[in-house]
Structure 1
Amino acid sequence: MGNSHQSRFRSDFHIPYGTGQGSQESSTGTCFGPMTMPSVKYQRGEMVMGRWPGSSLYYEVKVLRYDASSQLYTVIYKDGTELELKEQDIKNAAGFQTRSRSRSRSRSPGRRRSRSRSPARTTRRSSSRTAAAVATAAITESAPTSRRDAKLKDTPEVRLSPLKQTKAAENNSNNKHEKKEEKQKEENNTANKVNESESKVEAESEKNQGRYNLRRRKDDGDAKALEIKPEKLEEKDAKLAAASAASLSSPLDFGGKMGAYFWLLFLPAWVLFLVLQVNLEDPSLANFPPLLPPFEAFWDAQALGFVILWVLFQVLLYILPVGKLSEGMPLRSGERLKYRTNGFFAIAVSAVAVVAAVHQGVDLTYIHSHFLQLATASLLISVLLSIYLYVRSRYAAPEQLALGGNSGNVVYDFFKGHELNPRIKDFDLKFFCEMRPGLIGWCLINFAMALAEMKEQSLNAPSYSMILVNLFQLLYVLDGLWNEEAILTTMDLMHDGFGFMLAFGDLVWVPFTYTLQAYYLVSHPNLLSLPALAAIVTLKLVGFYIFRKSNSEKNAFRRNPSDPKLSHLKTIPTATGKSLLVSGWWGVVRHPNYLGDLMMALAWSLPCGFSHLLPWHYMIYFIILLVHRDSRDMSECRRKYGSAWDEYCRTVRYRIIPRVY
């Protein structure tokens, strides 16, 4: 909706606009041992420096608890990793940096010299280590926990050999008669500069990453030096990080590989069943299954031409140099794509074109009478588009692939989407399909159903029920297109590949299942009293306010948490460096945008009455979708944010409905 109404099909066959983003970026309480336990040096919640297992590197961690029987501390690192450490592997954070510096400066020149190589070689090694840390951080950011740990363990340390020695080194090797005191003094100065350089580089690296680098650093004797030209360092590291991340795949959704086969067959069949069922004179479940019409009834060349013309018309409006060029969220490579966000302009021009067509005598009730053929044509286009997307993804660079659709299984990757942001030059296929032909087509179909009701029921104007359904859903779409930039922060755009799941959801599921209420009212009018009318309108407005307000709060906080305008918001810090919003509506329930969405969905269905279950399909589907989505959010956020997420859940107790669920 506001972020993508289409998005409603996604992640569980579309996450509602606001849903994919709706999930909070989301830390854990613990308890002490028995009263007879010995005195504990580090207390729960204390920030200390913990040694990463298998290395001599220390990182800032938070103490969660102490086990008296095993004498181990459970700590959590900044990336959410929880480990058990012995007391000797933990140091007090206060003064840790000072002691480290003083120890470095107090070392004798002899010790420092025996450990270091030439000044040039040491400096190169420092730069390389920083670059490797950046690459590793990119990998750990996208990898599942188990794979991330393996990557951290096995990541080699990259070193650079100097192309040429510094002038100081040449003088030291060529001038054999130089005084020993001068040589020692020069080496001392060089070593000090190197130490300072390493400190600055590492500090800058941690600052830029926004998280600690938890890679395992192998011992000097085991690490293999790689000869890399300095000027190619950044380019090589960027490619290494992107390729390594792209080679991984996130956990499989929707039943995995076997589930992909099921959904590929079930979803098209389900949409066709709904269209056949709603077309019955009595669409009761007692008449299930509906009679299957002859095969030729599914196909109409004119309907296919109509759908193609509609898509091409929306393409034309999308590529016009009208509207704002918006910047997307940073990708794994750090790149930020640009998008033409002129969706509101597109629906305004489309409305003018439709009104002009009706004025010229075009009979839009054709959409009602050929609903099945139009759905079949849209299904065919979505399948052809999905095949094209998968074929082109086979030639895409590794860094352009989506983690979720990179399983190696052809059917699963075809379903989930193999390439993250497929583009033809600057034309973004995924962004276009998310917000244009299906979403605006939804409004066109609803308008055609209103005309069909007037024709079939011999009315001079649409019924109140039809007017409410049209206005409510039009407001939903207009809000989404007016706030089109918000979709750039959704899971669809940031993480999901573009494959059959999104193509089918955008072009078939949204326009041909979200319009069932309007289609139902054409042949099954439902009279509304004035009190019922007022109650439904109030429900819609309250739901819309909650939906819009909560999404605005979240989008503003997600784009710039340090904005002074947001300084009054309450948050819970996490070990990843991000914070969880617990202010405004996000302090009432964990998914306030879901709550507003559900209220609006209820307002869409109530005008159809309670005679049949079919017009309530959207409401039923949406409840299942949101409950499933909430469950996935809970497990993912607990894994990602550890104890901070548990603290968040204690602070905000209810998931969607206050005091109920």
Structure 2
Amino acid sequence: MPSRKFENGELVMGRWPGSNLYYEVKVMDYDTSTQLHTVKYKDGTELELREADMQKMNFFKNRRERSRSNSSSRRRSRSRSPGRTSRRSSSRTTRRSSSRGREARKEVKVQEVLEVTMSPLPKSVVNNINNPHKKKEVNDTAHKTIEHKTESELDSSRLDVRYNLRPRKEETAGKVMESEEPERKMENIVGNTHKYKVPKTTELEFGGKIGAFFMLSLLPATVLTLLLICGEKDASVLNFPPALPALTTLWDNHVFGIVVLWFLIQALIYVLPIGKVVDGLPLKNGKRLRYRINGFYAICLSAVLVGAAVNHGIDLSYIHGHFLQFAVSAMAFSLILGIYLYIRSRWASEDELAPGGNSGNLIYDFFIGHELNPRIKNFDLKYFCELRPGLIGWVVINLAMMLAEMKLQKLEYPSLAMILVNSFQLLYVLDALWNEEAILTTMDIVHDGFGFMLAFGDLVWVPFTYSLQAFYLVNHPNEVSWPFAAAIITLNFIGYIVFRKANSQKNAFRRNPYDPKVAHLMTIPTATGKSLLVSGMWGFVRHPNYLGDIIMALAWSLPCGFSHILPYFYVIYFTCLLIHREARDEHQCLKKYGSAWDEYCRQVRYRIFPGVY
């Protein structure tokens, strides 16, 4: 076993991965299998470094002293060269003196560059180093400040400094490249450092192991309860618990076959060579997975297939008449998929596991998801389920409810309330599929593993609870006046604008911070090399996309009237979900960005609801 050069708790200088910038770090731990040190930076960021990327605290000081010593000796040797004659003509002496003067000035400049490059930058300069609008000012300030700073001042500010070993020209070019291609830089950093090993999950969510155990039965029970109450003549939550139908009536092999067929049709459309192929964000192991973006084509082809089926005499209102059976079949399919995902994850390599689902507990990892991106060759199961079978299935269910309303209520055309619900939710689905690439930066894709929780959410919860308003209106029609309809449309439009603009700003900034659409926005630099938006929609509240989502959810429920609270389950649940997700986001961002996130929270006070929360 190789000997350790640095001990736990020792303060050393650690090189930031992918650059030649050194920061003061504290050694936290050492992994003997990977031979990597876990170090903690002053802002709270934790990374793993090789010993080759770490130096003792006095390394730079000794190097600077050697540089000064060598420069002085070179100057003395030139003035006392033994090969020079003592007698020279005045003109020749003048020329040689002038030449020596130029050489001396050149030597001094070289020394100054070395000293500036080897000297620490002030904290104010470091904080602005990644802001493209202040680069010239930063370079000038750094040069002037370092020239006049004394050695005692440098020692007192050691905790907030970084060092650079490159010449100034190379350093400047490196900064430009770092700003222009932040994602590519991070890919090279991780990919060339080491094979990443996912640590054991110690911070458990959703109530930990006990919470995950109860959620396995609570989620299916909630869906069945909602559908049973909503199907009754009096859809009041006071009728809880609803009367349970015979268990034999909840299962239908024909219905289960339709569910499986729908899944396979969407899988076939997904693998068609249509649409563009893009790279996802860099993973911890340095890989960048490739994804085919063809979700909008998928819903268009699905619409053609559904239209052809209706044209050939297939009655879509069959879905309404067997809605419970469809829900139970989807539950069974998601359970089978979850079991398959967990079994295959047992053979996944260490760097393919999810950081949040590697606890070692079977039930918890099964629920959360043990493997981050399970794939069958190039078929990404998590990415496929996220937007395809359930989301497009939601639209088909809404259409079936519209036809069922016309059939049961004996209407020549759908009610205004049903039209509003279908239109609002269709717009939401079309927007998600049109901007499908944006999902590659979400927590579901980047952080969460694919297990029963996401499988159930994608295949059961989304299509069968998000369509609750349309299901409710079939047996509980509601008259909506045109002025009230106009108010609801306006509310949904406001929510959609907030939602879409916030997501567009976030995705454009993550892809290219110098995009003209976002280049004017104010930012806070972080120790990871990235920046946080503090203006635009993201300077209004910390999660403006969540705010827009909640406003739209309210607009979807209002067409159902105010007779029962059941149609408002979606907006109530969604608000709780987003508040919980916001707390998860806050926790992850604090770990990732450290003190920069604290500063962001100080400038943007409210999380979701301005002036309230």
For this structure pair, what is the TM-score category when the shorter chain's length is used for normalisation? 0.7 to 0.9
Instruction: Verify the 8 A CA contact 1:325 1:341 in the aligned structure 2.
Output: yes
Asked whether 1:57 is paired with 2:30, we answer no
1:242 paired residue number: 195
More displaced 10-residue stretch of structure 1: 586-595 or 514-523: 586-595
Which residue does the alignment assign to 1:593? 545
Which residue of 2 is the match for residue 544 of structure 1?
496
Q: CA deviation at 1:272?
A: 1.2
Partner SS, residue 246 of structure 1: coil
Q: Following TM superposition, by how much is the alpha carbon of 1:248 offset from its aligned partner in structure 2, in angstroms?
A: 3.0
1:77 aligns with 2:42: yes
Distance 1:630 1:199 in 2: 40
- Structure 1 residues 140-168: Cα deviation after superposition (integer angstroms, max 9, x where no partner): xxxxxxxxxxxxxxxxxxxxxxxxxxxxx
| Corresponding position: 1:101 with 2:64 | yes
Could you tell me how far apart the structure 2 residues matched to 1:271 and 1:566 are? Answer: 41
* 1:571 Cα deviation after fit: 0.6
| TM-score after normalising by structure 2 | 0.72
3-state DSSP of counterpart to 1:242: coil
State the one-letter code of the partner of 2:66.
Answer: R
Q: Which residue of 1 aligns with 2:332?
A: 380
State the match for 2:606 in structure 1: 654
> Matched residues in 1 for 2:356 and 2:271: separation?
29
Equivalent position of 2:346 in the other structure? 394
In the superposition, relative to structure 1, how do residues 326 and 250 fare at CA in structure 2: closer, same or farther (>3 Å)? farther
- Tell me, yes or no, if structure 1 residue 327 matches structure 2 residue 283: no
1:178-226 Cα deviation digits (max 9, x unpaired): xxxxxxxxxxxxxxxxxxxx9569x99x999989xxxxxxxxxxxxxxx
Q: Give the CA deviation at 1:562.
A: 4.0
Cα distance in 1 for partners of 2:462, 2:344 equals: 25
1:581 maps to 2:538: no
Contact 2:469 2:567 in 1 (8 A): yes
Say if 1:256 and 1:412, in contact at 8 Å, map to a contact too. Answer: yes
Q: Deviations over 1:318-346 (max 9, x none)?
A: 11111111111111111111111101001
Change (3 A) 1:242 1:252: farther
- Tell me by how many angstroms 1:628 deviates: 1.8
Sort the Cα spacing of 1:61 and 1:540 in 2 relative to 1 into closer, same or farther, 3 A. farther
Q: Is the 8 A contact 1:486 1:555 kept in 2?
A: yes
Q: Does 1:621 align with 2:573?
A: yes
Partner of 1:57, secondary structure, is strand
Q: Does 1:484 align with 2:449?
A: no
Query: What is residue 265 of structure 2 aligned with on the other side?
Result: 313
1:212-611 matched pairs, under 5 angstroms: 241-243=194-196, 245-249=197-201, 251-563=203-515, 565-611=517-563
How far apart, in 1, do the equivalents of 2:558 and 2:251 lie? 33
SS in 2 for 1:634: helix
Show CA shifts across 1:454-499 (max 9, x none): 0010000110000000000000000000000111111111111111
Q: How many angstroms does 1:258 deviate by?
A: 1.1
Task: Give TM-score scaled by structure 1 length.
Answer: 0.67
CA contact (8 A) 1:249 1:405 kept: yes
Distance (Å, rounded) in 1 between the aligned partners of 2:560 and 2:472: 8
Higher relative contact order (CA 8 A, sep 6+): 1
2:201 touches 2:355 (CA, 8 Å); kept in 1?
yes
Change (3 A) 1:558 1:421: same
Q: Give the letter aligned to residue 238 of structure 2.
A: A
Counterpart residue identity of residue 219, structure 2:
L
How far apart, CA to CA, are the structure 2 residues paired with 1:250 and 1:239?
A: 28
What is the identity, as a one-letter code, of the residue corresponding to 1:491?
M
- Give, in angstroms, the shift of residue 378 of structure 1: 0.5
Uncovered stretches (5+) of structure 1, i.e. residues with no partner: 1-50, 63-74, 82-90, 109-197, 212-234
Once the two structures are TM-superposed, the CA of residue 250 in structure 1 deviates from its matched residue by: 5.5
CA distance in 2, matches of 1:495, 1:474: 28
Counterpart amino acid of 2:63? S
1:107-186 pair list within 5 angstroms: none
Q: 1:52 to 1:580 in 2, by over 3 A?
A: farther
CA-atom RMSD, angstroms? 3.2
In the aligned structure 1, how far is the partner of 2:480 from the partner of 2:535? 39
> Percent same amino acid at aligned positions?
61
Q: Tell me how far apart the structure 2 counterparts of residues 602 and 632 of structure 1 sit (CA, whole Å).
A: 23
Distance 2:358 2:193 in 1: 17
Letter of the 1:100 partner, please give it.
Answer: R
Q: Is the 8 A contact 1:79 1:575 kept in 2?
A: no
Gapped regions of structure 2 (runs ≥ 5) = 1-6, 15-21, 26-39, 47-55, 72-163, 180-187
Residues 238 and 342 of structure 1: CA distance in aligned 2, closer, same or farther (over 3 Å): closer
Give the conservation status (yes or no) of the 8 Å contact 1:418–1:497.
yes
Taking a change above 3 Å as real, the CA distance of residues 651 and 285 of structure 1, as seen in their structure-2 partners, is: same
In 2, Cα distance between equivalents of 1:539 and 1:247? 45
Q: Matches of 1:642 and 1:388 in 2, distance apart?
A: 38
Aligned-partner residue type, residue 371 of structure 2: E
Change in 2 beyond 3 A, CA 1:593/1:578: same
Deviation at 1:604, TM superposition (A): 0.2
Cα pair distance change 1:239/1:414, threshold 3 Å: farther
Q: CA deviation at 1:76?
A: 6.3
Partner Cα separation in structure 2 for residue 242 and residue 512 of structure 1? 42
Per-residue deviation, 1:254: 0.7
State the distance in 2 between where 1:365 and 1:78 align.
58
Secondary structure in 2 aligned to 1:566? coil
Secondary structure at the aligned position of 1:308 is classed as helix
Structure 1: how far apart are the matches of 2:192 and 2:540? 43
CA distance in 1, matches of 2:45, 2:344: 36
Residue number in structure 2 paired with 1:225: none
CA deviation map 1:595-647 (0-9, x unaligned): 11111001000000111111111011011112222233334333433332232
Letter in 2 for 1:259: G
When residues 652 and 238 of structure 1 are mapped into structure 2, their CA distance, relative to the original with a 3 A threshold, is closer
SS in 1 for 2:277: strand
Q: In structure 1, give the amino acid aligned to 2:42.
A: Y
